[in-house]
Amino acid sequence: MTEESERPEDHGVELQPNEPLSLSQTCMSCGNEGRLSLLLVPDIFFPDVVITCFSCTECGYRDRQMDRVESAVEGVKITCRFKNSQDLKRYVVISAGTEVKIESGEHGVTYTQKDDAVMVVESLIRYVLETLISRGTLPEDPLTEEETRGLDEYQKIALFLQESLTDLDLVLVLEDKKGDTRVLPVGESLEKGTKSLPLEYFTDECVEIVRIEKEDRGENGESGEQIW
Ligand SMILES: [Zn+2]
């Protein structure tokens, strides 16, 4: 999908967001002069993307690629202790590969996020529930006993997640080795994005955020769930 070979800095240019830049470059196919176009697409939550297109009018060779521009310098581990239903309405910005751990009492579940996403806490928990029980739709109504009976080992965890949404004695841990994951304060909108704000902004009486060692953003690893 992406290669590390052609970063914008290799061309000795400074890209401005959303301002396309065109350079001449030797065609790697025929050796004549072709055109290289670069575009920096900014993102307010996740790494910016640089789109690189090369085309040669002499031989018709074309090449196109997308690269992420890493911004986070360290990974993050976010621990949330939620006791209020307002907390479920908080926005979560979650990177692909983030390990999500939901605990309540002695029960818990871990889940690995597959894609970069922005949602509210409640949707995240419901999504984990949905994924665990492989239902095609979000469960709008509480599961009936009959519905949970067919879930075998997932029955307990489905009921646990459902109860944790009602009773709100919930610990949510998000471990992101890429560093872009954030849980927003209660009532904060997504307008400002998250990338330009300091970690302190995301800390309050329910949410603790600490830096952890960063891991380079590669292809997504295997995603899996674990229940205890
Ligand atoms: Zn060419």
40 C-alpha to ligand 1 centroid (Å): 25
Ligand 1 centre distance from Cα of residue 61 (Å) = 5
pLDDT score for 106: 73
Position 12, amino acid: G
Q: Which two tokens stand for residue 188?
A: 């904060």
Cα–ligand 1 centroid distance for 64 (angstroms): 14
d(CA 101, CA 103): 7
Q: What is the pLDDT along the chain (228 residues), one digit of tens a residue?
A: 344 444 555 556 788 999 999 999 999 999 999 999 999 999 999 999 999 999 999 999 999 999 988 777 799 999 999 888 889 899 999 999 999 998 877 777 888 898 999 999 988 988 887 776 654 444 455 556 655 555 555 666 667 677 777 777 789 999 999 999 999 999 999 999 999 899 999 999 999 999 998 876 454 444 445 555
AA identity, residue 165: L
Q: How many CB atoms are closer than 10 A to CB 4?
A: 8
Taking the CA atoms of residue 64, residue 4, residue 117 and residue 169 in that order, the dihedral angle to the nearest 10 degrees is 170
Distance 52 CA to ligand 1 centre (A): 16
Say if residues 173 and 103 touch (Cβ distance below 8 Å).
Answer: yes
Tokens found for residue 124: 């995240």
Domains of the chain are 8-69 (2.20.25.420), 75-227 (2.60.120.1040)
* Phi (first) and psi of residue 151, to 5 degrees: -90, -5
Q: What was the pLDDT predicted at 219?
A: 45
What are the two backbone dihedrals, phi and then psi, of residue 97, each rounded to the nearest 5 degrees?
95, -10
Q: Are the C-beta atoms of 79 and 168 separated by less than 8 Å? A: no
- Distance (Å, whole) CA 56 – CA 30: 9
- Please give the backbone phi and psi of residue 200, each rounded to the nearest 5 degrees, phi first: -60, -30
Residue 26 CA, ligand 1 centroid: distance in Å: 8
Cα distance between residue 67 and residue 2, in whole Å: 6
Residues with CB under 5 A from ligand 1 (ion): 27, 29-30, 56, 58-59, 61
